[in-house]
Amino acid sequence: MIAELQCLVIDCPAPRELAEFYRAVLGGEVDRPDRRWSLDEAWSTLHTPAGAVLCFQGVADHRPPVWPDPERPQQFHLDFGVADLDAAQEQVLAHGATVLDEGDGRRSWRVYADPAGHPFCLVRH
């Protein structure tokens, strides 16, 4: 095992509004303080009763997906918690990931693409 799933991140125009929508559907707590991320107008969370965490990331000029149009595909990414970013990076690269944003060395996260091109983050926990 390389990492632990922390959350599913969904792009959207209004993070808090979408978090409230999913709270109505799934239950849970919107914007519960959590040391893994900060909350602001561009980032909202939902901690569900089942334990899953959904995060909502504000995106300027958000263009929602159009089902099943491949020109406007689904938009989300996964965050994986790791103890050692460098070791985890070496492992995901060995399994076929590519680096999209390695950061500047001060960040506690890095962005990669899986072999099919889907983005995901490794986040130091």
- What pLDDT is recorded for position 19? 96
Structure tokens at 100: 């999209």
Residue with tokens 């985890």: 88
Backbone phi and psi for residue 25, each to the nearest 5 degrees, phi listed first = -80, -45
Q: How does DSSP classify residue 85?
A: H
pTM passes above 0.85: no
Q: What is the pLDDT of residues 38-87, one digit of tens each?
A: 999 999 999 999 999 999 999 999 988 888 888 888 888 999 999 999 99
Cite the DSSP H helix spans in 51-120.
Answer: 85-94
Rounded to whole angstroms, the Cα distance separating 1 from 65 reads: 32
Q: Could you write out the DSSP letters of every residue in 4-50?
A: EEEEEEEEES-HHHHHHHHHHHH--EET---TT---BTTEEEEE-TT
Per-domain boundaries in the chain:
4-124
Q: Could you say which of 3.30.300.30, 3.40.50.720, 3.10.180.10, 2.60.200.20 is the CATH number of the domain covering 4-124?
A: 3.10.180.10
- Determine contact, residues 81/4, Cβ cutoff 8 Å: yes
Q: How confident is the model at residue 12 (pLDDT cuts 50, 70, 90)?
A: very high
What pLDDT is recorded for position 37?
87
Average pLDDT over residues 30-38: 93
List, edge to edge, every strand of the sheet that includes 43-47: 29-30, 43-47, 53-58, 4-12, 76-82, 119-124, 109-113, 98-101
